[in-house]
Structure 1
Amino acid sequence: MKISTLDIYGYGKWVNQRFDLDDQLQLIFGQNEAGKSTLQSFIRSILFGFPSKHRRVNQINRYEPKLSEVYGGRILLKETSHGDIWVERTNRGLTLTDTKGHELEQLVLDQILSGLDENLFDSFYAFSLQNLQELSNVDAEKLGDYFLSIGTVGSDKFLSVAKYFEKDLGQLYKLKGKNPKLNQALLEFEELSQSIEKMKQNMAKYDDLFDQQQAEIDQIEALNQSIHDLEEKQRQLDQLMTRFDIYQKDLVAQRELEQLVFTKMDKDMPEKLEEAVRTKNDSQKTIQQMQERIHNLNNEMSTLTRLNWGKNHEDQRRQWSSDTAHIKKVDLRLEHVLERIQEQTNTMARLAREGQFYPEKVKKSSEFDREIEQGYEIQAAIDDFEGQKDSIQAERKVFLDQRKELQTYSVTVRQQHAKLESMRMNERAQLQQATNIRHYLIGALSIILGLAMGIYHLLNQTGANFRWIALILIGLGILSTAYVFFEHLKYKKKFHSSPAIEKMAELQRKERHYQDRSQELGQDINQREANLRSVEEELVRKRQEQQRWLVALGFYPTADAEIVLKSNPVKEYFQAETIRQQYEEERNDLNVEIAKWRKQIAPLLERFPLGDQSIKVLIHHVEETEVSIARQVERGKAMEERIRNAQDIIAQEKKHLQEQQEIIESIYQSTNSFDQVDFRQKVQANNQIQQLKEKRHLYSEQIRGYENEMSAIESKQSLINQYNKVQNELTLNKSRVQPHQYQRANIEVALNQLEQDGSYQVLQQKLEDKKAEIIKYVQEWSKKKIAVDLIYQTLRQGMDNPIPEMNKMANEIFSKLTYGRYDQIKLNKTGIKVKQFSDVLFSPHELSQGTLEQLYVALRLAFIVNASSMVSMPIIIDDAFVNFDEIRKASMYKVLETISQNHQVLFFTFDQMAADTLAIDSMINLDELIETNSTQEES
């Protein structure tokens, strides 16, 4: 099975996204947060189901989309046992279809996965840094169970049953065990057999005591039976006594019924009468309340003093309200105009203050404009001098910076020259040491010694050997001296040809150049300073001329000419003055309107006078007076309406009162009652008759079946006498039981003394019980043993043991990954060991982190290859090799290329070495994909 296409509807950050995957090795490249983990979780969710919504510790991320309503997607599976299949899983459920659109049963997915669940998939097919070492406790037996759990749908359940039975077998019986149940039962059976042999000698006395015990038990049972019969008779008498009291109450109720007379009436007639009487009283109370309300309202209307005046002046009130509303706006406008007048006055004062001029000395005329033009000419000259000054200062600064830079270069050159001089001194010292005259000492001594020996030979005529020795010494001395001479020449030549000499000369030339250039720049700087002083003098003269011009124009001596020329505050001052005159004219017009309004509201002020005559107070007084009058008028209208409503209610209640009185009279006539008291007595008699009938019915239910016995009883005292007689017999029998119980207890004590090690019968019974228990355990053990063997034989039918082949392949992969350093993996029931090329065995905890992870990778890949005949799944790798060095990564990538020829590998990583080493053309770069999607969304 291979995954060909991922079609994501909405899962995490991926919405409406499609990925086409390579059949062999697919590299999915991206940084953290690029969506690699989301894609892996999407594959697991589609194949095995979405993570649960229930909250728990370490909650698995469900990657529910924020920007899509549909949760899930689909995967195209190729080369399955059912052909090419689309597996679609969303929040609406799971759907399987072939490429033609035909829907398949959901069982097909289980058949394709061949019993593989998500845990086993994560253990072998999903490689990540977190789960890479989950095989740390695996052994050969567990690997065999993994092989058995795949290949057939549901086989994992059979395997779990077999494991459960195997656990029970160990709890039932072990060959040399002591704790299992069957082992303990066999040991107890042996102990009981030995105890029975010892108890046979005490059997005679034990049998006699056992017979006595049985006789006492029979006697006690007989007395207990008699006691039980007496107690039953006592309970019957007690019930008769209780029922006899009920029988007497029934007779009393019968006599009371015979004395009462039943009046025929409807069932709801009492309630109807009560309702009519209550309604009648409510109507009378309502009529009285309405009459009191009408009286109170009339009194209250007489206190409203402004009501009549308001009704008589309705037209004038409307006109006053309209005019007052207009004057209110006029007053607001007047306030606004006064504020604007004050604002323009403040503006004029501010302009004069900020512009620093005297308003009375400045006049609006063409002469002022000509003076302004003269100011522009003076300011232009000042600006020109300012520009010259800035230009000269900039040039001077450039020359100063250049001279400073040359001085820095000169200091650097001198430092370098000093370093070279120090180096030359070191070289001279080394030359003196290398060309020391002492080096000639050996050669000179050899020559002197040879000449001495030669002279000695000539004088004494010694042998030829002595002559040759002298010649050899002279020759060696000459050669040594010549060698030292030429070596000294070589050192001197090297000293005189040192590059430091030329470098020092070059540095001296540079320093002279820097000094000459610095002198030239000094002259330029002095020239610029002289020019700067000249420009500053002209600038001072022009500023004095500009100050005289400002004073002549009417400004303060301290005024800013630039502000005067640019903003022209005088012009703004006269504009503000014009605006203020306009607002003052509008103020006069508004005051005229207010005076007319005062004349119109004179009648209102006569009726409702006011001391304060200010505009706002008058407006407020008129509005309040109008509101008060309007309220009293509305209140008068409301009172009149309430009086009419009260009169209507009185009429309705009188009519209703007459209707209720007719209903009451009709009830009295139908029951022949004189008044309400007589009617209630008849109702009470009917209720009493009904209650007595119900009591008699209840009593008859309780004494049913005992009527004849009740009538035969003379009195309750006779029942009490019978009850006391039975009670005495019961007490006597209970007292007879106690001695037999004491005797039985003594016999049991004697039996217990004989049964300290277990009586023969008891032990014999225990022995038989233990034998039955052993047979039961043997049958249970046999059944489970047969079931375990049948399960394993069924699962292993037609399948050879895959562990040796897997072990062989794991050896090959592990050897390639470690470059032959480890050549064998040993799998057994105790765990895993690896053998080094030096034949030394190592446990997993003794290996380095990188080698240990290589071991688990080799086991996983070998398992996948050997299980491919039963199930074929793609391998998902999530940056599982970050702990590998470059050599280990290179070997790992070679193995992946080999494995991918037969198995699909999905490699999620951000390792640039993987992209360069594997050189896959179909690499999916998630970073570029995200950037492309963002660009499309923005466009």
Structure 2
Amino acid sequence: MRIKTLDVVGFGHFSNQVFYLDEESQLIYGENEAGKSTLYQFVRAILFGFAKKREKMRDFEPRNGDAFGGSIVFHDDVYGDVKVARFKNKNRGEAVVTLENGEVGNDYLLEKIISPLTKDVFDQIFSFQQEQLIDLADLDEAKLQHLLLTVGLTGSEQLNDVSQKFLKERQQIYKPSGRVPSLNQQLHKLQQLEEKINQAENEEINYQAYLAERQTLQNQLDELKQQQAELDLKQKRYTQQQKRYTQYAEWAKLNQLLEKDTIVTDEVLKETQETFQEYRFLENKEKKLLEQHRELASLNSPAFQFYVDEQRELESIQAKQLDVERLTQQIKVKKQLLQSNVEQQSNLLKMHELKSIETSTEDLEKVVAAIKTLSEEEEELVRDKIVLDNEISRVALRRKEIDRELTLLERELKTQEKIMERMQMKQSNSLNIPFAIIGVAFALAIVAGISSVTWLFLVVAVLVALGGGLLWRTTKEQQRQKAHPQLDFSQHKQEYSMQLAASDEIEGEYAHLQNEKKSLETKLGVINEQKDTWSKVYGLNPKESLSNWLTKLPAYYQIMALKEKHGQLREEMKILKEEEVVFQEALLFAKEWLPLQGKTTQEGYELLTQFIKEQQKVREETQYMEQEQASVPLQLTRVRQDLTQLETHLLSLTNQSFFRSDDIVRFIDGQTEKRQEEEELKNLTLRLEDYFSLDRPYQLSDINQQLIQVNEESERILSEQEEAQARIQKLSFDIAQLEQNGILDDLYQTRANEVTVIRQLADEWLGYKLAEDTLQAVFDYLSEQQLPAVLKMTSDYFNIFTAGRYPQVVLKDGRLQVQDKKYQYWDMTQLSTGTKDQLYIAFRLGFIQLHSEDYDAPIIIDDGWLHFDSGRKEIFFNVMIALGKNRQIICLSSDEEMKSYFEKNGVGVIQLEGRK
């Protein structure tokens, strides 16, 4: 891109002016305020748009009412001559682009033509401002090196500016040795707050010690609770083992028996049972056939005859069987209610740890009322005792502190007395020297008077003046020293007297508090004696408070109600028993035919019903048995033959030598029992395996001993828990008293707020630090990729600018240095201001040359040779002319010498007139 024409319609103080620029190198010359920077801003506005209000730039809108804007004509290698016109009040400030072929477009077309050139790239890479050169003089070595490398790698100072901005923002938040940054101030405030908190905590008597002791006791209490929980599990396990030891003994016995006995297969046992069942059937059939012969003769048996004679009476008694069943059920229910009543009484006594006593409601109410009265008194006395103990502790600490201060004052008084004695001796000795000098003067005066030696009078005068001066000075010093020790001694004596008075007062207060404590303990002792009396009667724990007793004593009301209900149930049971006796006596007339001994009333009536049914059956079967009597012998023969065959088969199944029915029964019962025992063993195993390790033996005595040990340990831990809980309650009360003033709570809240602010500032600081690190990472990446080529281009330009004095720019040991013709290396700070400017421009031009294929934009230099002498300016001019062969160079300057170079070499110069 090469700018050919600037048509300024209205911009700043320019109005309807056209400037034609050389396509290679061009100087726009003018005095200060002539409009050089205005033309630069005009080019910038036409190419990239007018500045927004938020950009806070100078307002170039014309005051004479001309249209704000104008046009630029530039040549592009692809599109040819391109005209860009832009007016702020037309088309919303958008550009009108006209190509050489007549095509018209807007900002989108303009961006396409000049891409990748943007406003930021134009400002930061292709424009040189003298302000940038002025800033170089204020940079230290490290910042100057970083700036030059940034310019060389990115073509502008933007990366360095952003990095410096992040650093500045971060340092405004925090500096390691700073005081003004906000985070430093917050940390200082937090430190002061911590000191206040420490001071407040130290002022609270034993506050931290109480907290630590309470926490320790709480930890101990938690540990004791954990131990108690473990003991409860052991106690539960041992108790379950104790309850289930009978089952365990049964399991052990079954296990031992089953290990010895032999069990046949299920198939053999089933066949034996079926065969023996068939045998029994035939055996019973044989008996029935034999009995049939005898039954004909026993048709008129005494039992049957008794039934026939007393049939009406027997059936009358049998009709009362339902009443007997109802009565039996009522008796059973009453027994269950009586048992439940007794269990409820026992559970209440056990739950509240009370004794079973006989008392009336009136007596119990009197005791409860007395306990309520004493409970309030006991709570008030305990509360007063805690407060009194705290006050005694405070007075005791004050008493100890006063004793320590008295001891220190006594030592100080003794020390002051010794100092005053030494000072008096020293004062007496210090007066001897002046008097001795005066004495010598008088002696010399006498000698002078006798000998008439005049110069001796001069010596006498000198000695007298010297002695008098020493005497006056010594006297003043003694007076000054004498006044201060006496004053200090008097002050210490006065403080000692005040401390003695305070000691007497605190002793009196301490004795008074001790007397109050004894009085409270006496009153509590009377209450405890009464508690001991009640605890023996009612089984209450004397260590518990009376308020806890009041929660347990109401259980006696429930117990007395249960006892009253128990009496009512017993009376009802007595009536039912008397009614049962009447039913029992009704059966006695048939006791010869009914086995009533050991039977209940209901069972007796069931036997009567069975007797009646049997006799009725006898009456029905008599006729049938008479008809069957003839076939009995033949049936007996067949049955006995079948019995013989079954006996042989049963002997083979049971592996026995002789057949006996009882042996077969015992065999079947034994095998069945063993199977039942095996099933029972399985059931017992399932019930016991959660409580016993069945792979080892147990003894009931061992279980009982372990349970006793666990109970003792549990009682010990419960006692320690009660002590720890009581101590925690006392400490909590003390801590609450200390925290009533609320100072620590306010300080803690303030500290929490300050910490929140510090965290927010720290997060903000870390954000800027992370941004810095990211930029540094970008810079490091660019260094790795482009630094060698940039240094090569920079070295070429710098060699030309310095007329071969510094042929090379290098990065040595991480530091940017220049090498002279003698191969010596120079740091940046060792270079002159003009040489630094040359190096800066060399880096800028090196970057542009390195990226010449990417960007084709004119270079605009605004007095970039500010610190150059004549030689440097001439070299700079020659370089600009050489660069202009490939890229348009536009120089803005008010330098007469630079103007002369342009004019002398026939390079275009545009003369700007100042404002009129």
Q: Shared topology, TM-score over 0.5?
A: no
| TM-score, structure 2 normalization | 0.31
| TM-score, structure 1 normalization | 0.31
